[in-house]
Amino acid sequence: MANSHHKLIILGGGPAGLTAGLYAARARMDHLLVEKGAEGGQVLLTDWIDNYPGFPDGISGFDLAEKMLAQARRFELNSMFGNVTSLDLSEPVKRLQFEDGDTLSCDSLIICSGAHPRPLGVPGEVELTGKGVSYCATCDAPFYRNMHVAVVGGGNTAVQEASHLTKFADKVTLIHRRDELRATKIVQEKAFANSKIDFIWDTTVTEIKGTEGVERIQLLNRNGETSELKVDGIFVLIGVLPNNEMLPLDILKADAGGFIPTDLETRTAVPGVMAAGDIRSKEVRQVVNAAGEGATAVLAAEQYLANLS
């Protein structure tokens, strides 16, 4: 496979990449999907997915990833493992450079490299992820019915999600490192008016504690005082970071956060290069829209390739 040329390369094997792979394989395009880890992407980080249609009882992240892969393989998905370290998009033929020195080239490329939540970086966080530490309230809020949860953050996402969580949790404590929120005023007003939300200001979380699941979090305020708060879960909503270290951000005209803007058909600023899923510049990052964009991107690639020949 190394040093080969393809009509279409799909970079990343999360929901966006696997759906792109399904569509490309089913359309019998000359394609190759490249993934550096396990196919499934962030879906593998989540215990249970309740909001992907077609699974009325929900499905584990692992099973959903396996099913997506199996479906693409049924149509002879062509895939390989490899860590792409740089991309040259300056010529009509696009070149991918791999960690081990190999290269690949293609006429069209779909970037599906995804994103990852910005972590707090405190003890207990990694160990308790999926056991009470969550990075997605839209995904996990219903698991906290009648419980007490903490939300960390002060931007729009954190404050909106704190309000959303009150539909399920009895109590939500929003912890922010400053003395005022960054969220827009209307979002703030709604949260302040919600009797289920408490605020702890000028405070950071320094440790997450628990054995089977989250039990307590340790807090440090600006005066240097420490305290503990009993919670059943903690939502870390301090931003999402794009997996973009291998992308030429200038030529792709990345936004201030490093995400890739596209038109509605997923076309980027570079002809023949599409971006789908969490790497796209957008508001909502969910499996269902990543999958939809993967499909759209293949149709855009087909159109681009048809105009080449």
Give yes or no: 112 in active site.
Answer: no
The rounded distance, in Å, linking the Cα atoms of 169 and 34 is 40
The rounded distance, in Å, linking the Cα atoms of 146 and 142 is 10
The verdict on 153 binding ligand FAD (CB under 6 A) reads no
Which one of 8, 9, 10, 16 is in contact with ligand FAD (CB under 6 A)?
Answer: 16
Binding mask 41-80 for ligand FAD (x = CB under 6 A): xxx-xx--x-xx----------------------------
User: Of residues 106, 136, 232, 278, which has the active-site annotation?
Assistant: 136
The verdict on 12 binding ligand FAD (CB under 6 A) reads yes
Least Å distance between CB 186 and ligand FAD? Answer: 26
Q: 75 CB contacts (<8 Å, ≥6 apart)?
A: 22, 25, 26
Which one of 35, 107, 161, 232 is in contact with ligand FAD (CB under 6 A)?
Answer: 35
Give yes or no: 107 in active site.
Answer: no
State how beta strands 103-111 and 133-134 pair. unpaired
Piece in contact with ligand FAD (CB under 6 A), picked from 157-165, 193-201, 203-211, 287-295: 287-295
Half-sphere exposure of 27 (CA within 13 A, CB side): 21
Q: Is 92 exposed, middle or buried (0-12, 13-18, 19+ CB in 10 A)?
A: exposed
Which one of 15, 124, 132, 210 is in contact with ligand FAD (CB under 6 A)?
Answer: 15
Reported in sequence order, the residue ranges of 112-243 that DSSP labels E, i.e. its strands, are 115-117, 133-134, 148-152, 171-175, 197-200, 203-209, 216-221, 226-230, 233-236, 240-242
Least Å distance between CB 133 and ligand FAD? Answer: 9
User: Of residues 106, 107, 139, 278, which has the active-site annotation?
Assistant: 139
Q: How far is CA 18 from CA 65, 177, 188, 302, in A?
A: 9, 38, 38, 17
DSSP string, 236-284: E-S-EEE--TTS-TTTTT--TTSPBP--TT-B-SSTTEEE-GGGBS-S-
User: Of residues 107, 140, 232, 278, which has the active-site annotation?
Assistant: 140
Give yes or no: 140 in active site.
Answer: yes
The verdict on 290 binding ligand FAD (CB under 6 A) reads yes
Which one of 9, 34, 68, 214 is in contact with ligand FAD (CB under 6 A)?
Answer: 34
Piece in contact with ligand FAD (CB under 6 A), picked from 5-13, 151-159, 189-197, 198-206: 5-13
How many Cβ atoms sit within 10 Å of the Cβ of residue 121? 8
Least Å distance between CB 16 and ligand FAD? Answer: 3
Residues that bind ligand FAD (CB under 6 A): 11-17, 34-37, 41-43, 45-46, 49, 51-52, 83-84, 112-115, 117, 135-136, 139, 243, 246, 277-278, 285-288, 290
Among all residues, which ones are annotated catalytic?
A: 136, 139-140
